[in-house]
């Protein structure tokens, strides 16, 4: 489902390169690095395509991003680890799930995290809508 959406919406984008699916072990390793279980829709996305080398991050990029953010941004943005970043806009901002105060992953929306302000706001109700909006220049 997600792979087909990316293929359809990105057909005029020369930079999008569908990656082979992630394994369940790779997803589990990424979850362990981030410190939170991934929502089912994110797991399903990764099982269909492990990133697209453009907008959607692979499990390796999710882990790398998490570790770098915690190493270099934690002093400036204390709550940087309260997000699961899984996509990027190419300008330093990331699409993510937010973690609520009780430590649960908030799956009610997909958010954009803005690096200049450390603020998030909802941009899509789910990954399907995020893919549509991103590749149709609506966000």
Which tens digits make up the pLDDT trace of 81-103? 899 999 999 899 999 999 998 88
Local confidence band at 23 (pLDDT 50, 70, 90 cut-offs): very high
pLDDT in tens, 38-65: 999 999 999 999 999 899 999 999 999 9
b/e map of 70-83 (b: 16 or more CB within 10 Å)?
Answer: eeeeeeebeebbbb
Whole-prediction pTM: 0.92
Residue 75, pLDDT above cutoff 90: no
């Amino acid at each position: 489902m997600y792979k087909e959406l990316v293929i359809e919406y990105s057909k005029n984008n020369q930079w999008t390169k569908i990656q082979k699916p992630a394994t369940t072990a790779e997803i589990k390793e990424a979850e362990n690095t981030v410190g939170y279980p991934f929502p089912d829709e994110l797991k399903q996305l990764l099982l269909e395509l492990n990133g697209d080398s453009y907008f959607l991050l692979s499990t390796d990029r999710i882990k790398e991003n998490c570790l770098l953010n915690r190493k270099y941004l934690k002093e400036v943005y204390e709550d940087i680890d309260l997000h699961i970043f899984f996509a990027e806009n190419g300008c330093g901002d990331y699409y993510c799930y937010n973690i609520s105060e009780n430590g649960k992953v908030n799956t009610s929306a997909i958010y954009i995290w803005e690096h200049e302000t450390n603020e998030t706001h909802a941009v899509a109700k789910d990954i399907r809508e995020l893919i549509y909006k991103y590749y149709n220049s609506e966000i």
